Chain A
Amino acid sequence: MDIDDGDFEAGGSRITWPGETITSSQAYMRGHGTYVENEEVIASVAGTIERVNKLITVRAIRTKYNPEVGDLVVARITEVQPRRWKVDANSRQDAVLMLSSVNLPGGVQRRKLESDELQMRNFFEEGDLLVAEVQAFFSDGAMSLHTRSLKYGKLRNGQLVTIPPILVRRLKSHFITLPCGVDLILGLNGYIWVSKHVKEHEQVGEEGFDAEAVYSNRNDLIDESTRIAISRVSNIIQVLASHFVPLTDTLLLEAYEWTVENDTDAKGLLSEDVGTALVATITARG
């Protein structure tokens, strides 16, 4: 089964599976998700074939998160080690957050001292959730994160939703505010943080911002309507993910409006026919 150039141009969504010959290795180069045997490029995962000039890659439809430098991720601390935290970021191995790549409370700029090393657990403890950016990779492929921005740091006032990473698209901004009083952080690793909206003037770096609260473990008071909105948004994300619909802010907004129009509560969303109706409506719109 040989492929002409034309086959790749047609939308590029040709499907393949492990052990399937894609093309000859003399005319093309093998990329991710393929291997070469007997001068043939053969797929090793199930997914869609993509071609860039002479490079053939297969993009797996369901797989672990593949980090790239600059990606925004939501992650959870698994271990505190000397000068570093081990962080679960839904990748093939735990990420590393160095003590030198976090901000000190109060935003003081200085070298990290031994005293900082001793109070690492005051910054992040096992089980804490945080939002960070992929900074670099180690030689074994493990990623190194950093939280050296006022936008990044410990997460509170909300709940975590996990979806397949392929469903999170790269957007201009991964911090989304929905009009229903809910903030969203779409981690590219498939972890999504749904939380109470922080008012503009109370945001980090502004006047009303409490610098010491960056590493706080205590939730703010969340009123009932916000709690309902948060669980509604979380359930919408779960329903969309179960129907394998990629997330975008417009889609989420439409879905939220649909649930309000149809007077569906958060719990009702999870029933199968309501979920199917929701997905059918919002994917048909446009």
Chain B
Amino acid sequence: MGSRVEILNDGGFRSDGRRQYELRDITIDLSPQGVADGSAILTHGLTQVLVSVFGPREAKMRSQTMHDRANINVEVAMAAFSTGERRKRSRGDKRILEMAATIKSTFEPVVQTSLYPRSQIDIFVQVLQQDGGLLQACINATTLALANAGIPLLDFVCAVTGGVHSTSPMLDLTLLEENDIPHVTVAVMPKTDKVTLVTMETRLHVERFEEIFRLAGQAGKVIHGEIKRAIRERTERLVTSMGSSTRVHGGEDDAMNEY
């Protein structure tokens, strides 16, 4: 084969040493970033995304105000240094606008917007590094940031990219694999097994679709476990640090009742 990289070699390994169904390393950082109400930094292997959520807050644009629910506003920005060849994408770039619209439509049925009439929820996605699975990383990070901001969600949304190399399906593709083989991104709500997003930019054989779709749904549950653990750990930490000082000042509760 010479210098050409094999997508899947005879031993069943991919170019980065993973098995067919193996996901890349996931790291989650939920510490506050700046003045955002909720934020998250998520990495899938070498893909890294930072999401900041502001709101619900007063809608800045009168025309976008809806009297019965909150408006979700998504803005995606890609760092010029995030890709192999350094390239600045403007905010009006078609691909970026499309991705923002995809994220928005993925979360609209999940966020309980009807609780916040006339408000606006701003989601700012900043792509720091790209190595395939960009949309999946954006969606997972947005879920985390929304939960971190205390915005009511019906469930976590977990997204995974799946692809197929000749007849063997693979999960969580890198950029190298994405360039070579047909792929599909699936976002699921693991509690009800509902699917909120299926998107393809390449052509995929119809007989292969079902298998990949099912696999991606299962992989979503694995991601769900990671997201759940991160949120639980952070909530526990905050509750303990709040509790540690209330225990010392036990008299506070009495004062509260009198008030």
Give the interface of A toward B (CB within 8 A).
Answer: 13, 15, 17-19, 33, 35, 37, 42, 44-48, 60-64, 78, 86, 88, 92-94, 140-142, 162, 166-167, 169-172, 243-246, 248, 250-251, 282-286
Chain B residues, Cβ within 8 Å of A88: 58
**Identity of the chain A residue whose Cβ is nearest the Cβ of B70 in the assembled complex:** A92
Interface residues of B in 216-259 (CB under 8 A from A): 228, 231-232, 234-239, 241-249, 252, 255-256, 258-259
A19, B37: Cβ atoms under 8 Å? no
A250, B236: Cβ atoms under 8 Å? no
Measured in the bound complex, the distance between the Cα atoms of B33 and A40 in whole Å is: 35
B150, A246: Cβ atoms under 8 Å? no
Given A17-B232, A63-B149: A93 and B249 interface contact (C-beta under 8 Å): no
**Identity of the chain A residue whose Cβ is nearest the Cβ of B155 in the assembled complex:** A19
Measured in the bound complex, the distance between the Cα atoms of B191 and A17 in whole Å is: 12
B38, A62: Cβ atoms under 8 Å? yes
Partner of B259, one of A35, A42, A171: A171
Chain A residues, Cβ within 8 Å of B58: 78, 86, 88, 93-94
Given A18-B152, A92-B116, A170-B259: A46 and B147 interface contact (C-beta under 8 Å): yes
Measured in the bound complex, the distance between the Cα atoms of B256 and A172 in whole Å is: 7
Measured in the bound complex, the distance between the Cα atoms of B155 and A284 in whole Å is: 38
Chain B residues, Cβ within 8 Å of A62: 37-38, 148-150, 238
Q: List 28 A-B contacts (CB under 8 A).
A: A15-B232, A17-B147, A18-B147, A18-B152, A18-B154, A19-B153, A44-B153, A45-B150, A46-B148, A46-B234, A61-B238, A62-B37, A62-B148, A63-B150, A63-B151, A64-B57, A64-B150, A93-B57, A93-B118, A94-B58, A140-B67, A140-B118, A167-B242, A244-B241, A251-B245, A251-B249, A283-B244, A285-B248
Q: Taking the nearest CB of chain B, how far is it from the CB of A22, in angstroms?
A: 13
Measured in the bound complex, the distance between the Cα atoms of B247 and A13 in whole Å is: 13
**Identity of the chain B residue whose Cβ is nearest the Cβ of A87 in the assembled complex:** B58
B45 interface residue per 8 A CB criterion:
no
Q: Is chain B's interface secondary structure helix, strand, loop, or mixed overall?
A: mixed
Measured in the bound complex, the distance between the Cα atoms of B148 and A46 in whole Å is: 8
Chain A residues, Cβ within 8 Å of B124: none
A17, B248: Cβ atoms under 8 Å? no
Chain B residues, Cβ within 8 Å of A166: 242
B156 interface residue per 8 A CB criterion:
yes
B40 interface residue per 8 A CB criterion:
no
Chain B residues, Cβ within 8 Å of A63: 149-151
Q: Taking the nearest CB of chain A, how far is it from the CB of B66, in angstroms?
A: 11
A61, B239: Cβ atoms under 8 Å? yes
Measured in the bound complex, the distance between the Cα atoms of B122 and A92 in whole Å is: 12
Q: Taking the nearest CB of chain A, how far is it from the CB of B220, in angstroms?
A: 12
Measured in the bound complex, the distance between the Cα atoms of B231 and A18 in whole Å is: 9
B55 interface residue per 8 A CB criterion:
yes
Q: Taking the nearest CB of chain A, how far is it from the CB of B255, in angstroms?
A: 6
Measured in the bound complex, the distance between the Cα atoms of B35 and A212 in whole Å is: 36
Q: Interface size (B, Cβ < 8 Å)?
A: 52
Besides A35-B112, A35-B154, 11 new A-B residue pairs in contact (Cβ under 8 A), listed by A number: A13-B239, A15-B236, A17-B228, A44-B153, A61-B235, A62-B150, A140-B67, A244-B242, A246-B245, A248-B252, A282-B245
Q: Taking the nearest CB of chain B, how far is it from the CB of A17, in angstroms?
A: 5
Measured in the bound complex, the distance between the Cα atoms of B58 and A94 in whole Å is: 6
B132 interface residue per 8 A CB criterion:
no
Given A19-B190, A63-B150: A245 and B245 interface contact (C-beta under 8 Å): yes
Measured in the bound complex, the distance between the Cα atoms of B232 and A189 in whole Å is: 25
**Identity of the chain B residue whose Cβ is nearest the Cβ of A47 in the assembled complex:** B235
A248, B152: Cβ atoms under 8 Å? no
Chain B residues, Cβ within 8 Å of A18: 147, 152-156, 231
Measured in the bound complex, the distance between the Cα atoms of B25 and A147 in whole Å is: 54
B55, A92: Cβ atoms under 8 Å? yes
A13, B249: Cβ atoms under 8 Å? no
Q: Taking the nearest CB of chain A, how far is it from the CB of B82, in angstroms?
A: 28
Q: Taking the nearest CB of chain B, how far is it from the CB of A145, in angstroms?
A: 14
**Identity of the chain B residue whose Cβ is nearest the Cβ of A78 in the assembled complex:** B58
Chain B residues, Cβ within 8 Å of A60: 150
Chain A residues, Cβ within 8 Å of B255: 171-172
B238, A44: Cβ atoms under 8 Å? no
A286, B248: Cβ atoms under 8 Å? yes
B169 interface residue per 8 A CB criterion:
no
Q: Taking the nearest CB of chain B, how far is it from the CB of A186, in angstroms?
A: 13
